[in-house]
Amino acid sequence: MSEIITERFSPHNIDLGDGPVGCFLIHGFTGSTYELQGLAEFLAANGFRVASRLLAGHGTSIEECNLVHAKDWLEESEFHFTEFALNCDATFVIGLSMGAGLALHLSTLFPVAGVVAMSPALILHSRYLRWYLPLITPFVSSISKERLNRGRDVDQHHYYGYSRYPLKGVRAMIKLNRYIRAELPKVALPAMIMHARNDPTAPFENATLVLNTIKSEDKVLRAYDHSGHVLPDSSEKEQVWNDTLDFLKQHLPD
């Protein structure tokens, strides 16, 4: 069984380091900043200022997540990033899963030094949800992650957040994904896409979609053979952390 971590940790924001170059980290749908805690500490130890904020509807309740709209995630990511960037000479944006899409969105609005998209989830394994959601959401508010992942290998994949998917929240995420897919051709800054080849949540075609659609001249794809969806806390996390650090160092402003 996959490990569902919900009550053992108190949701929190991350603020680490005091370097002149900042890394703004964005967690995934139904997750929390704990997905990024290890990466954040690693980057701070290497001289970066690091921050991550809980997304709307996260760290509270599934019911609250069902009240959030796509524009709420867009607007609050823009606000929190702007607030963070005021204290930095230069910034990078790093996102995981749904957060990867939000990071790509921010890179179209702000002159960041680079963007790292980890496990982008613009296309989901459970595509049938798009058709069934309007039918079932009036009667069912959430569905367990185990049930939705049935038949896929999720033994190594941990969830630091809700143990169930809020279905109205899923509809909001699908709407957000459509918006961000349309924005991908606007991404022109240095970019690194990172994805597990056997991601049980977001198929690897997400990585090739982003790589082939963004207009960045400086872009690279890193693939991992033994990791799950939550790359920075998966079995190859040290490699993921070091690959991220290498990208940041290569694109530090003069």
* pLDDT of 22 above 90: yes
Number of compact structural domains in the chain: 1
Range 190-214 average pLDDT: 96
CB of 174 closer than 8 Å to CB of 130: yes
Question: Residue 246 corresponds to which amino acid?
Answer: D
Residue 137's pLDDT is what? 57
**Residue 236 structural domain:** 4-250
Range 158-175 average pLDDT: 76
Q: What is the mean pLDDT of the chain?
A: 86
Question: Structure tokens of 79?
Answer: 């606000």
CB of 166 closer than 8 Å to CB of 62: yes
* pLDDT of 149 above 60: no
Rounded CA-CA distance 80/124 in Å is: 27
* pLDDT of 7 above 60: no
What is the model's pTM? Answer: 0.87
Rounded CA-CA distance 185/37 in Å is: 31
Question: Residue 18 corresponds to which amino acid?
Answer: D
Residue 175's pLDDT is what? 93
* pLDDT of 111 above 60: yes
Instruction: Kindly state the percentage of the chain with pLDDT values over 90.
Output: 68
Rounded CA-CA distance 59/55 in Å is: 8
Q: Band the pLDDT of 140: cuts 50, 70, 90.
A: low
Beta bridge partners of 194: 118, 222
Range 22-40 average pLDDT: 94
Please report, for the domain that includes residue 65, its CATH number: 3.40.50.1820
* pLDDT of 128 above 60: no
Range 156-178 average pLDDT: 76
DSSP conformation class of 233: G
Beta bridge partners of 115: 93, 191
* pLDDT of 44 above 80: yes
Range 113-137 average pLDDT: 76
